[in-house]
Amino acid sequence: MLLGLAELSDGVTGLPVVAASLSLVGLVLIISWRLELGINRDIVVAVLRAAAQLLGVGVLFVAIFRSSAAVWFAAGWIVFMGAVATAVITRRAQYRIKGLASVAGIAVLGSAFMSIGVIFGFGVFEFDAVALVVIGGITIGNAVPAAVLGVNLSVTFTRDAIGTLEGLLALGFDRRGVVRFMTPRVAKTALIPQVERTKVVGLIALPGALAGLLLAGVDPLEAVVVQLLVMYLVLGTAAVSLISTVLVVMRSAVTDSLVPAGWTKSDAEPQS
């Protein structure tokens, strides 16, 4: 079993350590206040929300991992994360996109369970509740930002390029033709962050899985191999989720009557 626990120093959870970890955040708040950037509230809310959510999850994990049915609870937790991820992706679209929720849910959960199958099927980690939650969390956690970015860019691009969309339909393009014409630019742009992050691994960034394995005392080369497996699965999960959501947004931009959907118009009201 590769997954292990590094020993933590005494007092790691003490208030001085927490305060020190917030030092850079405090510096940003001061700079923002002096320059009137208007981001202080967002940062404070993010810090407090993250603390509350992680503490709540930590308490829940204690109960899950000590249960005799820990694996089933862990699987249920992954499904719950997938449902929350689907809701987040759908809400970020701002407009009611037909089929987005179902496609996002299938892409995120399908990719996550495929990654879980690869990791445990080939014996990279021993199958237990902790490893199950970790792998599921890593894959879903990377799929959501990619999918959200894809949805946001797709909606913005389609609304900004409404003239292009109307022109394509006037030239006789059907829905499939419109999707094939407009999707590549959005998908390529949305994939840039994930692709660039993958390119610089090991040069200017150490991924979380690699850092955790090294801290746990795993042999560096073995840790690198495991990180490669996780990284490739993360890249694939993010790409599948992104492309799936971009395609469904672009497809929904054209109605069955081959006219632009209502949400593509400049006077469309975002959903509450």
- Is residue 117 in a domain? yes
Q: What is the predicted pLDDT for the residue at 14?
A: 61
Considering the chain, what is the average pLDDT of its residues? 86
| pLDDT value of position 2 | 46
User: What domain range is 83 assigned to?
Assistant: 68-264
Residue 13: phi and psi, rounded to 5, are -95, 10
DSSP 42-74: HHHHHHHHHHHHHHHHHHHHHHHHTSTTHHHHH
Q: How many residues does the chain have?
A: 272
Question: Is the model's pLDDT at 4 over the cut of 60?
Answer: no
At residue 15, the pLDDT reads: 67
146 pLDDT more than 50: yes
CB 129 within 8 A of CB 116: no
pLDDT band at 3 (very low <50, low <70, confident <90, very high): very low
In this prediction, residue 248 carries a pLDDT of 93
Taking residues 54-72, report their average pLDDT.
Answer: 87
Check: pTM over 0.85? Answer yes or no. no
pLDDT in tens, 223-244: 888 888 888 998 999 999 999 9
The CATH number for 201's domain is 1.20.1640
Let me know: does 209 contact 135? Beta carbons within 8 Å. Answer: no
Same domain, 55 and 39: yes
Using 50, 70 and 90 to split pLDDT, how confident is the model at 63? confident
- The answer to whether residues 158 and 123 belong to one domain is yes
Q: What are the tens digits of pLDDT across the range 155-170?
A: 999 899 888 888 999 9
Say whether both 244 and 179 belong to one domain.
yes
